[in-house]
Amino acid sequence: MSTGGSYQGIKAMINGKFLSRLPESSMSPGELSEQKRLFSKVIGCKQQLYSAKSKTEITNLAEKFTKAIFNPSRLVIGEKDIDYPQIEAICNLALSENRGIYIPDLQESQAIISGNTPLEIYNLFSIILSTVNIDSSVLRALPFKSIAVVPIVSGMDKKMPVDQYPRYGTITLYSENADFLYHQAGLPPLRMLGEFVGIAIAKLQD
């Protein structure tokens, strides 16, 4: 299953540094199968989200779907997580850069991030957290083994400057298990869910 557009290296930068793309060909058959399963489940949520009549209903549906599909140990949608301010920098980065961010192992300094343009939204890149000014030692103190954050965003069907896409907060998942999103498999479907939630909120404002 192809999950992204053609790679455009000139756009694959953050903090002035080029990103190292993770090619889909590096995924194992098991990861590809899991990604296909997750995409199918997320797509099945779209119509209910788009039919919601209030932001509260959208949030409740998003919580229900995220828990059922990704099984996080802790979940925060929309708002900042006041209980764990250590991850505020991760959430701010996801919002400002319009990227999903997944740290498979909080004891390590590496992360997987998504693209941030319509062509690259489901492409994945590998980064060292220090290159984006994230102190990995702070994250090691969390009582979890992995985390993922995606922006709740709309308008990704249009090409525009990254800072102009409407944002409505983040979806933040914590897990007591390392690599709970199956390395490369889970972040693109989670990113899709964040987009569906954003579109649903934008529909209320039309």
Class at the top of the CATH hierarchy for domain 9-205: alpha beta
Residue 77 near residue 171 (C-beta atoms within 8 A): yes
Domain locations in the chain as residue ranges: 9-205
128-164 pLDDT per residue, tens = 998 888 999 999 999 999 999 999 999 988 888 888 9
- The answer on pLDDT for 1 being more than 50 is no
Instruction: Output the pLDDT for position 8.
Output: 37
Instruction: Output the pLDDT for position 17.
Output: 65
More confident residue, 131 or 66: 66
More confident residue, 24 or 90: 90
Model pTM score? 0.89
Give the other-Cβ count within 10 Å of 30's Cβ: 11
Instruction: Output the pLDDT for position 106.
Output: 95
Left if phi > 0, otherwise alpha if psi is -120 to 50, otherwise beta: which for 47?
alpha
Instruction: Output the pLDDT for position 41.
Output: 97
Q: Specify the 3-state DSSP secondary structure of 151.
A: strand
- Average pLDDT (61-85) is 96
Q: What are phi and psi of 128, to 5 degrees?
A: -95, 130
